[in-house]
Amino acid sequence: MYDMIKKLFILSAMMLACSGCQSIRQVYEPETYQIPFMKIYPYIEGEGFMYSGVKLKFIAEFVGSDGKLEPHISEIFPRDFFGKLQFDMIAYEPVYRFMPKSYLELKRIVIQEMDFKDMPFPDAINWISLEIKKNDPRGIGVPIILRANSEVREEWNKIKINYKAKNITAYDLLEKLSDISGIPCRCEGNFYIESDTFPQGEKIVNAAYQINRKTSRSLFDGRILPRGEKIKGIPDNLSDIIEKNIFIWSSGEITFNIRRDKEIIKQLDWIFDVKYIPCPELPESELDMKKSEAKFWGTLENRKKLSDISIDHIEFEDLKVTDCISFLIKRSKELAPDKKGVEIKSIINGEVPKLTMLVDDITLGDAIRYICRAANLKYRILKDKVSIASQDVALDPIVEKIYPVFNMDVIAVLGKDLGYLNDIEEFMKALGVCFVTGSGISYDKEKKLLIVKQTLDEFRKIDELLVEICGYRTQFIYEKNAQLSAKVASLYFEDCVEVKGEMQMKEAKINGYPFPLPCFLIKDINVIKNPVLPKLRKYEPAR
């Protein structure tokens, strides 16, 4: 009897402890992130390296073991310790859609129970924001930014929210409140809730999808929907819906953007049965910041000022950009609660452009963006200021990177077609690479090295171009332990495999130059015995 009472007491104590738990629980991140095989590119090295420290997996077609390591590869991957494999794209790979990191974070946080009764809309949003921050292991949450002028915000306070739910993700709850209130929301770097008086305040989203050619052929041939299926607002052909900047790489990667109503995009996601993956983000550059995540959150206070400060009227007529910037600095000090405003520094080379602009009720951040767009300038939001500069001015650090390129014949042929036979910098410019003051590119014919001085943003373009033009690719290697070696030995040509591992940078020197070679270190590899080709789901208007 005593033991029974003791057990009941312990059970009651556990139930009381559970009842006092937080209303939000953190959904654990997946053990591995699935990403497109074609996205395993040799991006920038260092702490800002994409997918750094993340366990990854992809599916691909096994091409075979490569025992012929190139001389410069052998220096980095000793063949006694490492084996090298080759993979290719495969028709069994799904359709992917790139989503901002904030989306995935909000989807991983689940609110176990909430009950809003006649709560003003802004108060409901603030409650959610505080709960997310409270339960974020980093203690910083996900920024939820309300963008509206003072009059609209007063109207928002009149909107009362009555909603009750259990076990709903933070993202779904925010979407639900947006639907109830009729106030548009969108998820980019932050989560924005916007008045329709803002240019972005509309239920239009830009969705970026990726699919390889083999998968594309298994789904449809030039059609976005199966024959006979119709969706209101969606044309039959893929070419009629994608944005003009479609990219079809020679390696087989097809990336396309679709800009449509949010509900249509949701329907397309259902039809494509997409896999959501994080956007391949490069860190914002700043000399005194090394980690991209620390850099972003370090600028959060400045970003909040840019969205909170609203200017009621701006009118410029043939005014120099420098004078426009001075006006914004003055108004930001007048309107900011701390009267300090936002510091804006400008570096403009050559003739200073003039602007004519007339706008009412605009945030400081949008005003800066519009001015830069109209004057063909660029800007960076830093921790303590905003920097505005001409296109040829480097707002990011310039670093040097070396690429072993043993065959320049392809570049020579393409350069001849573009009219830049002997000028590789002009050739790169013709392909969309921007060269700022202090940057440059050259080729050492004797050592067969491409030497590049560039900013981080432009290196991404160069990396992708070299992948396509010169076959400069990430190396897939594995440690020659008994378990992995046995699995590799059992693979057959054209097997469909799932590969797990992580991206790494292997340091070495090529002809005396530092050469960080990107590689995918394979931790496990398994044959997919019964692979299923992706299929387009049937359109279901009831969803």
Q: Looking at the predicted structure, is the pLDDT value of residue 388 above 80?
A: yes
The predicted model scores a pTM of 0.62
Decide if pLDDT at 487 tops 90.
yes
| pLDDT > 70? residue 262 | yes
- Residue 102: pLDDT band with limits 50, 70, 90: confident
Mean pLDDT of all residues in the chain? Answer: 75
Over range 207-221, report the average pLDDT.
Answer: 79
In what helix (H) or strand (E) does residue 37 lie, and over which residues does it extend? Answer: none
CATH of 292-390, one of 3.40.50.2020, 3.40.50.720, 1.20.1250.20, 3.55.50.30: 3.55.50.30
Is 282 within 8 Å of 268 (Cβ atoms)? no
Cβ atoms of residues 421 and 415 within 8 Å: yes
Which residues neighbour 366 within 8 Å (Cβ) at sequence distance 6 or greater?
A: 198, 199
| Amino acid 48: pLDDT | 39
Q: In this predicted structure, what is the pLDDT of residue 416?
A: 54
Q: Within 10 Å of residue 287's Cβ, how many Cβ atoms?
A: 8
Domain parsing of the chain, residue ranges: 40-91+398-543, 95-272, 292-390
The architecture of the domain spanning 40-91+398-543 is: Beta Barrel (2.40)
Q: Residue 100: its pLDDT value, please?
A: 81
DSSP string, 372-405: HHHHTEEEEE-SS-EEEEETTS-SS-EEEEEEE-
pLDDT of residue 35 exceeding 90: no
Query: Residue range 107-122: average pLDDT?
Result: 88
Quick check: 235 pLDDT over 90?
no
Give CA–CA dist 212/218, Å, rounded.
10
Residue 92, C-beta contacts closer than 8 angstroms, at least 6 positions apart: 59, 215, 496, 528, 531, 532, 533, 534
- Residue 233's pLDDT band, with cuts at 50, 70 and 90, is low
Say what the pLDDT of residue 196 is.
Answer: 58
- Report the DSSP beta bridge partners of residue 97: 209, 276
Per mean pLDDT, which of 294-298, 354-358, 525-529 is the most reliable? 525-529
In angstroms, the CA 285 to CA 292 distance is 8
Check whether 461 has a pLDDT greater than 70. Answer: yes
User: How would you class 78 by CB atoms within 10 Å of its CB: exposed for 0-12, middle for 13-18, buried for 19 or more?
Assistant: exposed
pLDDT beyond 90 at 496? yes
Report the pLDDT value the prediction gives residue 30, as an integer from 0 to 100.
56
Residue 203, SS3? Answer: coil
What pLDDT is attached to residue 488? 94
**What does the pLDDT read at residue 330?**
92
Q: What percent of the chain has pLDDT over 90?
A: 17
Question: Is the model more confident about 233 or about 150?
Answer: 150
Ramachandran sector of residue 216 (left: φ over 0; alpha: ψ -120 to 50; beta: rest): alpha
pLDDT on residue 284: 37
Separation of CA 65 from chain center: 32
Per-residue buried b or exposed e for 121-154, using 16+ beta carbons within 10 Å of the residue's own CB: bbebbeebbebbeebeeeeebbbbbbbbbeebee
Taking phi first (over 0 means left), then psi (-120 to 50 degrees means alpha), and beta for anything else, what does residue 360 get? beta
